[in-house]
Structure 1
Amino acid sequence: MESKKRFRLIPFLCTIVAFALYCERCYAGDCPADGRTWVPFGQSCYHFVHGEENRPQAYTLDTAKATCRGYELLSVRNAEENQFIIEYSPQVWKGNINVWLGLYFNTDNDTFMWHDNTGVEYVNWEGSGVDSGLSPVDVCAALHSSTGKWEQVSCLEDVENGVVCEAAQESINEKAGNSPMLTALVALSVLVILGVSAVLWFFHQRQNFSSSMFTAFEYHPPFRSPTSDVAALVDSEETDEMA
């Protein structure tokens, strides 16, 4: 009986597994597939621009933006992300690198903003981080890869030697909207698993039905009471004695 109960759970478990796999693919994140190396961390992906070996790099702000090919320059939202940049940089560069940050000073509200026009909640300025002597409209920032400290630099005149591009992780269900083939394959996989589960359940039910039919037609001899057998034997003996 216990084995039958377990067998009946197979279709249900297969359905749950199929649904879980589908949901995992729908909500898992993914980095851009543009031929460059992207490193996932948190909810974002990062491309550390390596450049050519043994050749000093020099990027103006405009050159750095162009290097990212439509993606944003590095924006650091918290201490964990800042630490990630420090720890991963030695795998790409030797020594300290000054990395452009996607940060600018908004003169309309006198505050720093990221290039995607979101507010700045975390900062890690070197020293006080103010009174750089730059015109407010010319204030940008760079991150020192060896310390993680930020420095105010000129947006127009300064040249830095490091670029990190950042992209939000793209959910696969968004990609599926642009890829009918992927959607069809996922749906087909789910249908196949459900179909196999239904076939197993059908044969199991059919086997149970056949077993119950044989059980219903099984011959059972009529019940004979031991008392009636003894009484019949006594009557037979008395008849013999009278004869």
Structure 2
Amino acid sequence: MRIDVLTIFPSMFGSVLGESIIKRAVSGGKVGIHVHDIRDYTADKHHKVDDRPYGGGSGMVMAPQPIFSCCDEILRKIKVAKSKRSIILLSPRGRCFTQRSAARLAKMKHLVLVCGHYEGVDERVSRYLADEEISIGDYVLTGGELPAMVVIDAVVRLLPGVLGNASSARNESFQEQLLEYPQYTRPAVFLDKKVPPVLLSGDHKAIEAWRRKESLKITKKRRPDLLEG
């Protein structure tokens, strides 16, 4: 997979992309991640990427030209079938990003993530360039950089061969619309608190049943909306 990120703050991505699972995925050739500074593509001599909104209003709006120009250059170089590519605008008005969204995007060969900023992005980016808009939650952030990092992390870890144990991703929260069951490790007794005996029994069927029951219990208590879905 290839992931291209369009942003006005490229330095924000260095530490995230250079650590842990994402770093190993890049080093292992599972994914290529390229960060582009939108300012490098503006036709304005001052490298201006925003302007006042038509009709008035507070704040500034990101202009369409540098975003279109950057994306056009990327797509000229990377030839991928449209069905295997998604251009995503990170926006608070987008559809909420879920584990199912991550699984769907993990099947793509090319993702282009456009990070909005200021008071928004010119509507023509959404209507005529982006394939979809994604939000990571019902709140407003300063820009699309943090949401882009979230999407990258969630998607990359689902790529084949990225996680050391293939079953890890299958057993995590939200895979079956359930939150994950409780996890324990050594010691078996800590501060007089004991690990549930079933986990020490060696009875795999009993352990699986216990984990399922606990997942349902936790989901019902904390996220009943998932059970409704």
What is the TM-score when the length of structure 2 is the normalising length? 0.23
More helix by share: 1
Report which structure shows greater RCO (CA 8 Å, sep ≥6). 1
Which structure is larger by alpha-carbon Rg, 1 or 2? 1
What is the TM-score when the length of structure 1 is the normalising length? 0.22
